[in-house]
Amino acid sequence: MTKLPIEKGVRFKGYEDELQGVKIGAAFLLKEINSCGPKDTTHLHQELLPKLFRKLGKNTWFEVPMNVDYGQATEIGDNCYFNHHLSIGDGALVKIGNGVIVGPYVGFYTASHPLDSVERAEGWQTAAPIEVGDNVWIGANVTILGGVKIGANSVIGAGSVVTKDIPENTLAYGVPAKPVKQIK
């Protein structure tokens, strides 16, 4: 198994042969995953998805289609639900706790590219982990960027862009997402 740049700030080139091999393997698996119909749920959830992710908890459900860059840097807990058009750019660790509900068109993006145009042209990038605590609800069309931690029991409102940590038991929304109130 190729070691992905899990730690924050590690520089890498996404088109390196080893990483491309992992990405291509994930793409072939995703093609099969995304072609599953409503009657293929056992095949999808018990056979295909466990091959894609580093860790996949029990009783976790995915609607298709979905997209994942590598899969090998994503850990998902028990009793989660992911609506259709999930996108995970897992150049670094994406760790999702137990009981997490994710709306449609949600993206987790760990990668970042240099501001310097020469470095960008050379293919350099960095990645920072994303961590989502237990029992978080993420609304539709949310974007979560690398380096962010969302605390347990929090809710992220639809259409938000999460660029900074969100504390536990917090309702947050907006662009960028900001804590609005504590949830009891």
113 in catalytic set: yes
Helix H or strand E segment including 83 = none
Out of 43, 45, 84, 113, which one is annotated catalytic?
113
Q: For residue 23, what are the contacts with CB-CB under 8 A and spacing of at least 6?
A: 14, 69, 70
Tokens representing residue 118 in the block: 């020469």
Residues pairing with 109 in the sheet? 89, 145
Q: What are phi and psi of 66, to 5 degrees?
A: -150, 165
User: Which residue spans within the chain are E strands per DSSP?
Assistant: 10-13, 55-56, 61-62, 66-68, 74-76, 81-82, 86-89, 94-96, 101-102, 107-109, 111-112, 124-127, 130-132, 137-138, 143-145, 149-150, 155-156, 161-162, 170-173, 178-182
Tokens representing residue 141 in the block: 């069309």
Q: Which residues are catalytic?
A: 113
